[in-house]
Amino acid sequence: MWVAICHTTSSYGFLEKLLNNRITGLLHKLSYSLYQVNITVILMIDFSLRASGVRSFPIIVMTLIYIILTVYIAAVILYFLVDAPFGLLTSRVILGRKTSRKSKDD
């Protein structure tokens, strides 16, 4: 948070290439979908465990990687099925941003 505040207030632009490349642009579009999906996926994975036990460090790391990948896959699916189509619908129909057509005045 501190880095983002310094970047937006200083206007030196030392983080410009890092924050405005294609990969972070895609991640910015997925941020709301990640927010919606995150706790649901974590609870589903946690509740699906059949036995409790002592976890070693490699098992914790593998579980963390599995959770992160599952959350991102679910967020991509949610984005493509819900957010992107409704975003196009609201920008074109509700807000009135239709494609412009040239009229012929003869």
Q: What is the pLDDT of residues 19-58, one digit of tens each?
A: 677 777 777 788 888 888 989 888 888 888 777 778 889 9
Angle at 44 between CA 38 and CA 46, to 5 degrees: 100
| SS3 (DSSP) at 102 | coil
Q: What share of the chain is helix, strand, coil (3-state, %, to 5)?
A: 70, 0, 30
CA distance to 58, 64, 65, 87, 103, per residue, from 61 (Å)? 5, 5, 6, 36, 62
Going by pLDDT thresholds of 50, 70 and 90, the confidence category of residue 2 is confident
Give residues with Cβ within 8 angstroms of 71, minimum separation 6.
34, 37, 38, 41, 42
Q: Are 79 and 33 in contact (CB under 8 A)?
A: yes
Residues 78-96 pLDDT 10s? 989 988 888 888 777 776 6
pLDDT at 15: 67
The residue with greater pLDDT, 23 or 67, is 67
The pLDDT score that the predictor gives to residue 48 is 84
Residue 12's pLDDT band (cuts 50, 70, 90):
low
Q: State mean pLDDT over 87-106.
A: 64
Helix residue ranges, H only, 48-95: 57-78, 84-89
Q: What is the pTM of this model?
A: 0.63
